[in-house]
Amino acid sequence: MTQAIEHLTSDTLSAFIDGELPDSEQEAIQQHLAGCHTCALRALSARELKAATARAGRRFAPPPETLARLTAQLHREPRGRARIHSIRRVAWASLAAAMLLALSLIGWRQLHETNTLAAELLDQHLATLSSAATPQVISTDRHTVKPWFQGRLPFSFNLPDAQALPPDTTLKGADLTYLKGQPAALLLFTIHKHEVSVFLTQRFGGPSVPALPSTRSGFTIHSATTQDLRIVAVSDVNPSDLDALVATLVRAQSPS
C-alpha cells in the first residue's frame, strides 16, 4: 500500500478546506484524499481547526454603552453639508432606525448561535469520522442500542427496525454526547458508505435550536422535530437520502 504519493502541501490543503482552489484542482484533491489516508486525516484535522478558530476568534463584543454609541452614530452621522430636517422626518427616521437596530441585533444573535451550534454539530460529526473514534455501543441492533441509553439520558426515543430503514442504510452504533451542554444521543448510521451522525435531544428543556443552515463546509445538516424530540442529522451523503433517514426516525417516534 505504500506507494510513493506526493502528499499535499500545507498551503494547498489550507486553500482546499477554504474552498479557494479552482474547481478542477478542488476535484483532483478530492481524488487524492480518497486514496491517501494521511492527507484525508490532515484535511479532517484542518477543518476542525478552522471551525474551532471561528469560535475562538469571535470573542470580543462591544459593551452595551459602546454598542449604543456606535449605533446612534450610524443614524445620526451628518453627511456632507448640514441639513435641516423637519421634526416629523427625524422622528420617523429614528423610529425606523431603532427598529432596524433591534432586528439586526436579533438577527446577529441568532446567526451567531446558529453558527456555533452548526460548528459544534459538524465538529462532532468529523470526530466520529476519525478512525480512532469507536462508538461506545457498537451494534446494528436497535434492541441493544436503545436500552443502552436508559439511565444515561433524561429522555427516551424509539429506533426503527432494520427493515424499516431506507435502502442501504445501516445503524452502526451509538454514543452519548453533549450539545450546548445538554445530553444528547448520537446515533451513527451509514448510507451508501457515507457516515451519518444523528443527534437526538429533548425538544423542551434541551438547547434552544434556531433554524440551522442546511449546509456547512460541504456537509448537509437536516433537522426535524417530533412532539418531544429534536433530530438533527449531519452527513456528506446526498440531501435526499439524508431526508429519508430523518423522516424514518421521525415516523418511529409516533406511536403506531
Residues engaged in binding other proteins (CB under 8 A): 6-11, 13-15, 18, 20, 38-39, 41-42, 44-46, 48-63, 66-67, 69-71, 73-75, 77, 79-80, 83, 93, 96-97, 100-101, 104, 107-108, 112, 123, 130, 132
Nearest distance from C-beta of residue 171 to other proteins, angstroms = 26
Please, which residues bridge with residue 189 across strands? 171, 196
Nearer to other proteins by C-beta: 176 or 250?
A: 176
DSSP state of 223: E
Nearer to other proteins by C-beta: 104 or 134?
A: 104
Nearest distance from C-beta of residue 231 to other proteins, angstroms = 24
Q: Give the three cell numbers for residue 89.
A: 422626518
Nearest distance from C-beta of residue 198 to other proteins, angstroms = 21
Report which secondary-structure segment, H or E, holds 215: strand 215-216
Nearer to other proteins by C-beta: 98 or 162?
A: 98
> What angle separates helix 10-17 from helix 23-35, to the nearest 10 degrees?
110
Nearer to other proteins by C-beta: 175 or 241?
A: 175
Nearer to other proteins by C-beta: 92 or 204?
A: 92
Nearest distance from C-beta of residue 178 to other proteins, angstroms = 11
Q: How far is CA 83 from CA 18, 80, 87, 96, in A?
A: 46, 9, 12, 19
Neighbours of 136 (CB within 10 A): 12
Measure CA 156 to chain center. Answer: 23
Rg of the chain on CA atoms, in Å: 24
Is residue 224 within 8 Å of 235, Cβ to Cβ? no
Nearer to other proteins by C-beta: 37 or 152?
A: 37
Amino acid making up residue 83: R
Nearest distance from C-beta of residue 206 to other proteins, angstroms = 20
Nearest distance from C-beta of residue 224 to other proteins, angstroms = 27
CA distance 242 to 256: 23
